[in-house]
Amino acid sequence: MSERPEAWPVLDHAELGPMLEYVNRVVQVAGKYSLDDPFEVGWGNIVLEVSPRGLRTPTFRRDGATFTVHYRLLDGDVVIETEGAARTLSLGRTSVADFYASFCEAASELGIPHPGSAQICEIPAAPPHFEDDRVERVWDAHSARLIWEAFDRAAGGLEAWQAPFLGHRPRVGVMWGGFDLSATRWRPKRTDPGPEGPPFMRNAQLHEYVSVGFSFDNTHGDGSSPLDIGMYAYIWPQPDGLTGRSWGVEGADWHPGLGLALLPWQNLRRLPDPHGAIVRFGDAVYEAAVQTAGWPDDLVEPRVDGWYMSEHQPSEHPEHVGHRG
């Protein structure tokens, strides 16, 4: 079903910038717990769920405590919830350093160990540790809602794109370091990432993958030249033959200097069906991987559209109703 473009908000990086800097920092506090969970190929263990009110960690189990941390962007607070109790921390007006101190105090009260690291990651201009970031941050409810709405809309499209893939695919979610929404398809074919780059990146490049996502800041490698907010995609290792291809959606294009196919948000939101456009964009990227990098074309089932178990008897199967790609 088509959606009105007005349902997809206008996003201005200059307007959102202060809140993006703030939220990117504070979500890393609870995100650190995920580094000590069992490693999933491509860092699938670290992603944050896009929830109905913000961003939520996976369920963690540490030293007898079972807990989650919910960054409620629509409420301007953070809820730490265990099996026995919960604590709510305000994000209204504080520094990252003060938030980190409050978080650790609340965690101790709930019987939760402190995060294993206080390092701020993947933000070039940030201080090295949470305790060092003493800039006062003021919560902007309007910008926070726009950030959540963008993640929520993009997540719906990426989840629909991922659904028919038969291979390994971590859940769609926000990578708290780079603060981008990621949907990745993997195949068990080893690669050599080489000695360059940080360890987290080299670990992510141990196998071949196709990645489609959404970012507020698609930049050059040094982070100095922001491009349009929007969808991105790439194939690792990057094959030849990507220049001049169609990427399934009007306004999507290949940027060889970045090694990315990009679909700007301002183009996406104007389309009659932005949700479907994300699916078509992802399908075009995977088709490029099939045609240029030898990916198998039998890892994707036909997409079932319009058939839902709630509307049919348990004895009925999708093949009886028909597929629509």
Q: What is the pLDDT of residues 145-180, one digit of tens each?
A: 999 999 999 999 999 999 999 999 999 999 999 999
Candidates 136, 217, 211; CA nearest to 170 is 211
Let me know whether 154 and 130 are in one domain.
Answer: no
What value does the mean pLDDT of the chain take? 90
Let me know whether 168 and 103 are in one domain.
Answer: no
Give pTM, 2 decimals: 0.91
Question: Is 306 a member of any domain?
Answer: no
Let me know whether 148 and 98 are in one domain.
Answer: no
Rounded Cα distance, 145 and 323, in Å: 36
Let me know whether 96 and 61 are in one domain.
Answer: yes
pLDDT (mean) for 241-265: 96
Rounded Cα distance, 182 and 197, in Å: 20
Let me know whether 29 and 126 are in one domain.
Answer: yes
By the 8 A CB rule, do 182 and 213 touch?
yes
Band of the pLDDT at 198, cuts 50, 70, 90? Answer: confident
Let me know whether 268 and 148 are in one domain.
Answer: yes
Let me know whether 110 and 227 are in one domain.
Answer: no
Let me know whether 60 and 178 are in one domain.
Answer: no
By the 8 A CB rule, do 37 and 58 touch?
yes
Let me know whether 135 and 154 are in one domain.
Answer: no
C-alpha 236 chain-centroid distance: 18
pLDDT for 138? 96
Domain count within the chain = 2
Rounded Cα distance, 268 and 280, in Å: 12
Within 8 A by CB and 6+ apart from 10, the residues are 266, 269
Let me know whether 92 and 28 are in one domain.
Answer: yes
Let me know whether 231 and 160 are in one domain.
Answer: yes
Question: Is 317 a member of any domain?
Answer: no
Rounded Cα distance, 203 and 208, in Å: 12
Where is the domain boundary, 126, 141, 156?
141
Within 8 A by CB and 6+ apart from 49, the residues are 55, 56, 57, 58, 171, 173
> What's the pLDDT tens digit per position in 27-53?
999 999 999 999 888 888 999 999 999
Rounded Cα distance, 163 and 140, in Å: 34
Within 8 A by CB and 6+ apart from 228, the residues are 218, 262, 264, 265, 266
Question: Is 301 a member of any domain?
Answer: no
pLDDT (mean) for 59-71: 95
Within 8 A by CB and 6+ apart from 33, the residues are 57, 60, 62, 69, 115, 116
Question: Is 217 a member of any domain?
Answer: yes
Question: Is 8 a member of any domain?
Answer: no
Q: Which domain holds residue 164?
A: 142-293
By the 8 A CB rule, do 68 and 59 touch?
yes
Rounded Cα distance, 56 and 50, in Å: 7
Let me know whether 197 and 130 are in one domain.
Answer: no
HSE of 202, CA atoms in CB hemisphere, 13 A: 8
Where is the domain boundary, 110, 141, 172?
141
Give the bridge partners for 174, in sequence order.
48, 181
Over 60: is that where the pLDDT of 308 sits?
yes
Residue 5, classified by CB atoms within 10 Å of its CB into exposed (0-12), middle (13-18) or buried (19+), is middle
Question: Is 124 a member of any domain?
Answer: yes
How many other CB atoms are found less than 10 A from the CB of residue 201?
Answer: 13
Band of the pLDDT at 204, cuts 50, 70, 90? Answer: confident
